[in-house]
Amino acid sequence: MTKRETKTEVRQRAYDKQWEVVAKISTVRAGLTNKERVKDGTAVDLRAWITLHVTNSRRKAKNWLDTNHDKVILLGIPYEVSRVS
């Protein structure tokens, strides 16, 4: 198994000038894909860009990401099922 670093960005939204923390995380861990379907093999766990936090300043967004970095890394780990052949 290869270790992939979770990609994160802190960026400003154009329409309301709020700052957001977005990360490419597992859709199963975000609750968008059913874990049981992945276990059955009828669905695949993908990674998608998801907004994790919104605030009014870049400094607060960076601070939130620094505080919650370990949790964000865990969300980025793909859901895998070990199959015995």
Q: Does the pLDDT at position 84 exceed 90?
A: no
- Identify whether 1 is part of a domain: no
> Alpha carbon 6 to chain centroid distance?
7
- Percentage of the chain beyond pLDDT 90 is 76
- Identify whether 26 is part of a domain: yes
- Identify whether 2 is part of a domain: no
Mean pLDDT in the chain? 90
Structural domain of 19 = 8-76
- Identify whether 44 is part of a domain: yes
22 and 57 in contact (C-beta within 8 Å)? no
Number of domains in the chain: 1
- Identify whether 3 is part of a domain: no
19 and 57 in contact (C-beta within 8 Å)? yes
Mean pLDDT of 46-67: 96
- Identify whether 82 is part of a domain: no
pLDDT higher at 31 or 3: 31
